[in-house]
Chains A and B, each alone.
Chain A
Amino acid sequence: MEQTLTEKILARAAGKKEVSPGELINAKIDMALGNDLTAPVAIREFEKIGVEKVFDRARLALIPDHFVPNKDIQSAALAEILRRFARQQKIVHYYEVGRMGIEHALLPELGLTLPGELIVGADSHTCTYGALGAFATGVGSTDLAAVMATGELWFRVPPTIRIIFHGQLPRWLGGKDLILYTIGQLGVDGARYAALEFCGPVIEKLGMDARLTIANMAIEAGAKAGLIAPDEITLAYLEGRAQRPYTALYGDAGAPVAREFNWDVSDLEPQVALPSSPANTRPVSAVAGTAVDQVVIGSCTNGRIDDLRQAAAILKGRRVHPRVRLIVIPATQAIYLQALQEGLLETFIQAQAAVSTPTCGPCLGGHMGILAAGEVAVATTNRNFTGRMGHRASRVYLAGPAVAAAAAVAGEIMHPAALREVN
């Protein structure tokens, strides 16, 4: 029987020849992840199990990124739980402030998430690593505790939904527009329990940063994972980066899938998700003119170097609108440094943006840019639920870095191409 990429990976991890959708399996985990919010709960549960050591101290990454640098005394206590546990267990991949980054940007950058692997993380955007041809999925803290103790976890094999993008992606569009369009088409539960597999000529031309953006938001359509088969671009990215040997897996061409969508994106406009759902997606022209108080460029979705380059291309020689606060957050220290070396940080600061050390910060309404009642933000993040970035009565529009940077300059939402005419 022909198998999809998802089925191939899960079968390998479960030590089986093949698996089929709906089947319950117990599988070996190649890499597991926890952060400063979810790992303290997992550590509490791990200690109840009564084993002394984690299953493999090189296969558990603990990343403080949500509320660090510590935003208050309580979050300092959470970070301390993580730090103490990491020291006590001699966790290899623990990254302190100054060395850290947002987990889903940091792990691929460090070569810790590899093709063909089964990866779980106590964070819903763990699905990001599917961009490298891994099966990666978010779990809860108790699940993570079980993995920490045994290195294994139960799964139900999901059906696969295949998305094929055809045509030529227009200028100003990127991975964010493709995934927002997908979520808009499927709805927030359109891929519930399923694995999304992205392919086709448009995907094949995208760089890794854009692919990571796409896989990152698979969860926003309810999916268990979002996968892109590895190709030369993937392998080149992993060259000199991969920290373990790996075996790339590929789906069979004729493997049956639950659903398949074919979309031509040649005429697609930049996409924006309106408050308060990532599926509430419209072409940018539908919301052009919406006044904006704050713009955030960053997060595990769009805080990578390509995203910063796109934003800088628009901000170069321009100023942030007097009514707007622009906050730029490179997702990792390495990205921060590269942005410095490429002169992007200078562009941001000249444009009067605030540039911050890596943190999740405003993405989840933690710190570094909380919205007051009635305020409107454009953010390159992944969720715009009620209250996500601050007060219940604040509103968040999700977009890619080009639309976000254009909004920062114009003070209102507009097509990045229209900015050229305005200035």
Chain B
Amino acid sequence: MRTFQGKVWVFGDDIDTDAILPARYMNSPDPKELAKHCMEDADPDFMKKMSPGDIIVAGKNFGCGSSREHAPLAIKEAGIACVIAGSFARIFYRNALNIGLPILESPAAAASLAAGSTAEVNLQTGEITDLAGGHKFSAAAFPPFMQELIAQGGLINFVKGKV
């Protein structure tokens, strides 16, 4: 049962992968190097302000743009516990699941969670609680296939089991 609480950082709609991890830092594939620049072009001071366990909340189409897995890798390695968004861009959605970065799609939670507040997230049920006002939101459930993928710890383990 994975339930955790984290401080909320709020971003807008259409946060693209160039804002999450600018291409100028992609000359390194090392997640630790990438994490140093997480969200840099959306908020240059983000990495100075955030702490591991915090939660990113964003509007619609989070992660649009390039296919760079470096983007979810940077977020995961920075210690962000999960990303809650109104919706996710397609390749980002795949990549996050494939590498085991928890993501939750909930337009209502994304619209209502305020910067600096604390949210509680239950990954199993997809339930999100705004601890400020006690409001509860439920994120869209993953299709069974994705649940299996997540249960096995991402795509690489899933494939390992098959070959």
- Chains A and B come from one and the same complex: yes
A interface residues with partner B (beta carbon < 8 Å) = 24, 37-38, 40-41, 44-45, 48-51, 66-67, 71-72, 74-75, 78, 121-124, 126, 138-143, 145-146, 149-150, 154, 156, 188-189, 192-193, 222, 224, 277, 364-366, 383, 385-388, 392
Shortest CB-to-CB span from B163 to chain A, Å, is 5
Q: Once the chains bind, are A365 and B163 in contact (CB under 8 Å)?
A: no
| Complex interface: chain A residues within 8 A of B18 (CB) | 364-365, 383, 385-388
| Complex interface: chain A residues within 8 A of B90 (CB) | 192-193, 222, 224
Shortest CB-to-CB span from B140 to chain A, Å, is 13
| Complex interface: chain B residues within 8 A of A50 (CB) | 160, 163
Q: Once the chains bind, are A385 and B65 in contact (CB under 8 Å)?
A: yes
Q: Once the chains bind, are A189 and B41 in contact (CB under 8 Å)?
A: no
Q: Which residue of B lies closest to A41 (CB)?
A: B29
Q: Once the chains bind, are A149 and B163 in contact (CB under 8 Å)?
A: yes
Shortest CB-to-CB span from B56 to chain A, Å, is 17
Given A222-B89, A222-B90, A385-B18, decide whether A188 and B64 contact each other with a Cβ distance below 8 A: yes
Q: Which residue of A lies closest to B158 (CB)?
A: A146
Shortest CB-to-CB span from B76 to chain A, Å, is 12
B interface residues with partner A (beta carbon < 8 Å) = 14, 16, 18-19, 22-24, 26-29, 41, 44, 60-61, 64-70, 73, 87, 89-91, 94-95, 98-99, 143, 145, 154-156, 158-160, 162-163
Q: Once the chains bind, are A392 and B41 in contact (CB under 8 Å)?
A: yes
15 contacts between A and B (CB under 8 A): A44-B29, A48-B156, A124-B67, A140-B67, A140-B68, A142-B95, A142-B155, A142-B156, A150-B159, A154-B145, A156-B143, A189-B87, A192-B87, A366-B23, A385-B18
Q: Which residue of B lies closest to A193 (CB)?
A: B90
Q: Once the chains bind, are A150 and B91 in contact (CB under 8 Å)?
A: no
Residue of A74, A121, A150 with most chain B CB atoms under a 10 A cut-off: A74
Interface contact tally, CB-CB below 8 A:
136
| Complex interface: chain A residues within 8 A of B41 (CB) | 385-387, 392
| Complex interface: chain A residues within 8 A of B89 (CB) | 189, 192, 222
| Complex interface: chain B residues within 8 A of A145 (CB) | 155-156, 159
Q: Which residue of A lies closest to B24 (CB)?
A: A365
| Complex interface: chain B residues within 8 A of A366 (CB) | 23-24
Shortest CB-to-CB span from A85 to chain B, Å, is 13
Shortest CB-to-CB span from B14 to chain A, Å, is 5
Shortest CB-to-CB span from B127 to chain A, Å, is 24
Q: Given the complex of chains A and B, what is the CA–CA distance between A37 and B19 in angstroms?
A: 17
Shortest CB-to-CB span from B101 to chain A, Å, is 11
Q: Which residue of B lies closest to A390 (CB)?
A: B24
Given A222-B61, A365-B22, A366-B24, decide whether A385 and B69 contact each other with a Cβ distance below 8 A: no
Q: Once the chains bind, are B99 and A138 in contact (CB under 8 Å)?
A: no
| Complex interface: chain B residues within 8 A of A154 (CB) | 145
Q: Given the complex of chains A and B, what is the CA–CA distance between A126 and B67 in angstroms?
A: 10
Q: Given the complex of chains A and B, what is the CA–CA distance between A145 and B69 in angstroms?
A: 12
